[in-house]
Copies of this chain bind each other. A is one copy, B any other.
Amino acid sequence: MRKAIFATALLFIMAQGSALAQVKPETLVKQRQAVMTLHGKYMGQLGRMAQGREPYNASVAARNAGFLDALSKMPWDGFDPSTKDVKSRALPAVFSDPGKFKQAADRYQGEVAKLVAATKGGDEATVKSAIGAVGKACAGCHDDFQQPQ
C-alpha cells in the first residue's frame, strides 16, 4: 500500500514536472520575440535620444532603462532546445554554442545594469554613453546569433 502511494506520488510529481516543461516550443518563440519587440520600443527611443534625433528627457530615459532591466532578464529561457526547429531568426549557434550565447547575454545584461545606474546618477553624457554600450552589446549578440532581416 505504502509502495503504491509512493509510486502514485512520484508519478504525480513527474507529471507536474513535465507539465512545467511542456510549454509549446511555438509559444516559447512567441514569448521571446515579444521581448525583442518591446526592446525595440524602449531601446529605439533611447537610441534616438543618444543620437540627438529626439530631445533628451532624463525621466523617460530612467523609465526606459528600468523597463529594459526587466526585459533583459526575460528572453533567455525561451531559447530552449525544444525551439531549435521552430522558424525564427535565431541562428543554430544559439543551440550549438550555448556557452558563447550565455556570455553574450550576460554582457548585454551587465550593460543594461550600468545604464540603469547611469540614469540614477542623472548625468546626460554618462547616460548617452551607457546607451551606446547597450546598443553595442545588442549588436554583438545579434551579429553572432541572429539572422539579419
Chain A interfacial positions (CB closer than 8 Å to B):
16, 19-20, 30-31, 33-35, 37-38, 40-41, 53-55, 63, 66-67, 69-71, 73-74
Contacts and interface: CB of A to CB of B under 8 A. Distances in A.
B41 A37 contact: no
Majority-rule SS of A interface residues: helix
A143 to B, nearest CB: 23
A123 B36 CA distance: 34
A29 to B, nearest CB: 11
Contacts of A20: 54
A37 B31 CA distance: 6
A66 B72 CA distance: 13
Contacts of A35: 34, 38
